[in-house]
Structure 1
């Protein structure tokens, strides 16, 4: 069974969080994800999720002082370990309060400056520390290879690098975030790579290639991917992290209707 999660940060960019969540539920989503829920109080998020009967399944760690960099993230940033711990604890607090089971731990950019510790060593130590906190809260952490087309200079930019990092950290809470868009650009051979890394996958995201719009556009055969995931018995979520070609609603009608159950709203709550 395909469980699509609407990425509120991408599908309804420019809308308020509340309106984005309302729109997601109206189109039939039961699950959502957010890059940065921290712009709204957790109490507000909790109320909206309850009002619209939605489950928040994934959030990113806050960018912190990396927010002005081309690639955001602090996990692989030597010298900023204390800040990483602060932003991770903030993410974990939101995860706990909102019931979000997955936190994407963003790595940040490749650095040219020499430090007393390598970026990889810093990355692994930070991830292992974060996994210790996540385990006690029953939370999964993910790392995601990013393509240079969208994130030039990203430290985590290769599937093999992600696999080696997960193996080095060697903690059951750490999983792979397999973004079909990034992986098609980075490596192609999507089905074989899904099979090869399936035991490590904790979350999947999708967008069309090359324009990062609806999955029905471009070269990526999403229906074939779904067939493979069903064969592999994938039980996780597929996050819709793409930029709508026109409107989110029109695009979803073109490719996602078979996976969603639109609702009719009356008043504050939707009828199901």
Structure 2
């Protein structure tokens, strides 16, 4: 049966961030994820998790200057020391919050002339991150992201992500399979899930094309949830979407699953 984690960066934005945990638990969620925790002390977030009896599923390593448009630094030459310091910070937060998954964002391609150089550095940094994280029992995730929402992002396709994992060869380096991004870039989700499930460490959902609740649009999510169960996936499914209106009001699609787990 699917285990759903509310994405608190996109959902419950009608509440202050630290108040979103209680709101998600009130609606029946057992887990949460979000983009970045670094504006808050790890102990403060952990207290909210514990108070609401929630599990932390996932967050991202520091991405560089997000407000100025950076989308990860793992592939950016000259940022090596910053990347390693950021990974240490992410591992510190994960040890407090209890999650076993950290997403490392690749970054934007400076130009087509630099793509291969950046990819090589990305692979090098992922190998380093996987080694550092394995000492703490933590998995490193990489995520293909569509070029419409994030133009210029280095990693866009599932097969490329799987090839990078194979190249690094670390068992704790896995792919974050975002159904929304995959549908926009390449589609054929059923075949890709069947092909790649052994190396998929986290799944996320949203409606396509508008990134609202996954109860309308191009994808048949009940079919996909049944397939994911059939394939034996036991991880979290992150609800990384922007509610059309109020978050709680739009949860009709997931309430039957949340009720079954209650």
Superposition deviation, residue 51 in structure 1 = 0.6
Superposition deviation, residue 66 in structure 1 = 5.2
Is the 1:148–1:154 contact (alpha carbons within 8 Å) kept by the matching residues of 2?
yes
Residue matched to 1:33: 33
Residue matched to 1:8: 8
Quote the Cα distance in structure 2 between the aligned partners of 1:174 and 1:164: 11
Superposition deviation, residue 22 in structure 1 = 0.9
Is the 2:109–2:152 contact (alpha carbons within 8 Å) kept by the matching residues of 1?
yes
Deviation per residue, 1:120-171 (Å, 9 max, x gap):
1100110001111110100011100000111111011111211111111110
Superposition deviation, residue 67 in structure 1 = 4.2
Residue matched to 2:63: 63
Residue matched to 1:231: 230
In structure 1, stretches of 5+ residues that fail to align are: 263-271
Deviation per residue, 1:188-246 (Å, 9 max, x gap):
11100101111110000000000000000111100000111111011011000000011
Quote the Cα distance in structure 2 between the aligned partners of 1:173 and 1:67: 30
Residue matched to 1:201: 200
Quote the Cα distance in structure 2 between the aligned partners of 1:210 and 1:255: 17
Superposition deviation, residue 65 in structure 1 = 3.4
Deviation per residue, 1:63-106 (Å, 9 max, x gap):
2235412x510111111111111111111110011101100001
Quote the Cα distance in structure 2 between the aligned partners of 1:232 and 1:62: 32
Report the more deviating stretch, 156-165 or 132-141: 156-165
Quote the Cα distance in structure 2 between the aligned partners of 1:174 and 1:142: 6
Secondary structure at the aligned position of 2:13 is classed as: coil
Is the 2:139–2:172 contact (alpha carbons within 8 Å) kept by the matching residues of 1?
yes
Is the 1:66–1:74 contact (alpha carbons within 8 Å) kept by the matching residues of 2?
no
Provide TM-score, normalisation by structure 2. Answer: 0.95
In structure 2, stretches of 5+ residues that fail to align are: none
Quote the Cα distance in structure 1 between the aligned partners of 2:256 and 2:112: 50
Quote the Cα distance in structure 2 between the aligned partners of 1:193 and 1:81: 33
Say if 1:3 and 1:122 are closer, same or farther in 2 by CA, change over 3 A: same
Give RMSD over aligned pairs. 1.6
Residue matched to 2:118: 119
Residue matched to 1:256: 254
Residue matched to 2:88: 89
Q: Count matched residues.
A: 260
Is the 2:141–2:174 contact (alpha carbons within 8 Å) kept by the matching residues of 1?
yes
Provide TM-score, normalisation by structure 1. Answer: 0.92
Residue matched to 1:156: 155
Secondary structure at the aligned position of 2:226 is classed as: helix
Quote the Cα distance in structure 2 between the aligned partners of 1:114 and 1:210: 31
Residue matched to 2:24: 24
Deviation per residue, 1:23-43 (Å, 9 max, x gap):
100000010001011111111
- The runs of 4+ residues in structure 1 deviating greater than 3 Å are none
Secondary structure at the aligned position of 1:10 is classed as: coil
Quote the Cα distance in structure 1 between the aligned partners of 2:190 and 2:90: 32
